[in-house]
Structure 1
């Protein structure tokens, strides 16, 4: 049966001489893997350059529950983002976020709220020229609300340390190996309180940004099964420096 669904591309790999394997998060079916036979052929009506990381697409797909490889029948840019094109300087961020999403999105069923969150952030990235330095931190923290391990912002002078394992702030006496230090815990608290529109008001050093990103990725590793080392992280961090 043919279904229409919006989809966010998480990545693609070459398959055989002319085909593609595409990983996507779809509005209707959650995370899915598609094969596009002949997608790299010059004669193909489905052009392979559509399947780039975080591209937002409208797709007609043949879907069968439980099948490991689904089929794409037709594809075009999404109506909500018809001009989709990331400037080159955004590519490291796009590849980094796409790799995170590929690792943490696992459900093979639709989640309209999560899809709306992701598509809105993609459209924001397309439209904005100056990306806030803490954008990726805000994105990763807010994403945890949909993954089931969102941190609790109970920071206070009595509980100033963030416990990565239990996702709450704790007392100094309760410090253990998975607690952030005082300074990074406080910066983490500031990020938790910040809206996307107010990120530019945060004054954070490059050392703060790097330390907090590493802390958040450790948080993901503790709470998301199979969250392993990211290939795109070193390039993303180097360019941020």
Structure 2
């Protein structure tokens, strides 16, 4: 489990919580199970916990417009309200947390390779900065456990799409047509193109590592890690 607190400019704080295979050994995809488990660890009521029907797309959802209990389609969430928990499910994809201090805002993105290429993180940044009028350079970022470039193998079909923009995100393997993909490098390049010189702090955890504390689709897990962020 990851449990971090970060402080904002106005001395308020936000929390990042990531629940993995030890906390979710009896995992169920049922939204009621997810809300119950997140509520237990966050100590925030279930009606204040918001999640999505994730589709590997670029739809960004303002959670302040979601009714309690609803599960809209999308792959990114944000809020300016305190004690409202935003949840993204992952099992190798990147969970990209982001926040701003003034105005206080937190968001989270589900960024698998399809979403990374399609620009889901950039879409979330554009929407929030345009809506609230702050400089994207003021955003802070954190990446939770994901399949890192040390383990995440892809074929030429996927590699060719990343190579067009950022060849440094790929490492050739001895087997012809096989590569290791580091999505963090690609995301940094995309953010730079937006004019954001971002520092992407990471958890340091790779979901594909043997004996990982986090679920990995590549290792055969069907359960999902729960990545949560909220303003305190």
TM-score, normalised on structure 1? 0.28
TM-score, normalised on structure 2? 0.29
**Greater RCO structure (CA 8 Å; 6+ sep):** 2
Larger radius of gyration: 1
More helix by share: 1
